[in-house]
């Protein structure tokens, strides 16, 4: 698997297969797939779906390993307000929000841009927020082997907003902590820092 790539070129065979399925869905819900506004929609939808699920073809561990550096720094490193866009695996509707990641190095640091990239790798799959949180957490913990790692995700789910209970202002928060972040003092420092505005 490639460590990281923007999916700008699409496998023609897969794209055509997904395109045909979208065309059939549009037809079966009662629309005319041959009218001007919809003629290119199946292809656009196919490419959008392939883009939104490109995480299956990427290796988050390889991304982290590509930018690991030996360093003696051993205090908390936080990257907060990382934009998250994913698809709920139950309804294939979007959920979106922010991820906050912290780790305490244990001999190695990682290039800061790699943390948002691994968020994208796991988010660009059919997901549930709970698993997404766990996958990001375990990838960092297993690869960097830090003293501790923490992940918090806050997200709004369109499956709750557009259908079902139709609650427009609900936000779901998930969290995971390993190592030093199991200690209340360290965890509270992290939670305080991600909720504060340092500017």
With vertex at residue 193, the alpha carbon angle to CA 191 and CA 198, rounded to the nearest 5 degrees, is: 155
Residue 178, H or E segment: strand 172-179
Residues carrying an active site annotation: 88-91, 129, 157, 159
Which overall architecture, per CATH, does domain 12-52 show? Orthogonal Bundle (1.10)
Q: Which tokens is 145 given?
A: 């082997």
**Residue located via tokens 């190695």:** 108
Residue % of the chain over a pLDDT of 90 = 85
Q: What is the DSSP string of 57-82?
A: GB-HHHHHHTTEEE----S-EEEEEE
**Residue located via tokens 């990838």:** 139
pLDDT tens track for 4-42: 454 456 788 999 999 999 999 999 999 999 999 999 999
Asked if the domains at 12-52 and 68-195 fall in one CATH topology, the answer is: no
pLDDT tens track for 28-81: 999 999 999 999 999 999 999 999 999 999 999 999 999 999 999 999 999 999
CB atoms within 10 A of CB 13: 8
- 68-195 domain in CATH 2.30.30.30? no
pLDDT tens track for 145-155: 999 999 999 99
Domain boundaries, the chain: 12-52, 68-195
Residue 177, H or E segment: strand 172-179
Strands annotated E in 2-131: 68-70, 77-88, 94-104, 108-110, 126-127
């Amino acid at each position: 698997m490639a460590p990281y790539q923007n999916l700008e070129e699409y496998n023609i065979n897969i794209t055509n297969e997904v395109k045909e399925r979208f065309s059939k869905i549009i037809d079966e819900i009662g629309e005319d797939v041959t009218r001007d506004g919809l003629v290119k929609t199946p292809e656009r939808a196919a490419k959008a779906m392939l883009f939104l699920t490109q995480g299956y073809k990427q290796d988050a561990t390889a991304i982290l390993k590509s930018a690991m550096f030996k360093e003696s720094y051993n205090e908390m490193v936080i990257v907060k307000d990382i934009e998250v866009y994913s698809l709920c695996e139950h309804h294939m509707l979007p959920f979106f929000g922010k991820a906050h990641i912290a780790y305490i190095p244990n001999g190695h640091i990682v290039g800061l841009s790699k943390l948002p990239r691994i968020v994208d790798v796991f988010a660009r799959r059919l997901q549930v927020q709970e698993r997404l949180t766990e996958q990001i957490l375990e990838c960092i913990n297993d690869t960097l082997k830090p003293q501790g790692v923490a992940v918090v995700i806050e997200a709004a789910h369109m499956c709750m907003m557009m259908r079902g209970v139709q609650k427009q202002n609900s936000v779901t928060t998930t969290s995971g902590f390993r190592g030093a972040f199991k200690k209340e003092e360290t965890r509270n420092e992290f939670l305080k820092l991600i909720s504060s505005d340092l500017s």
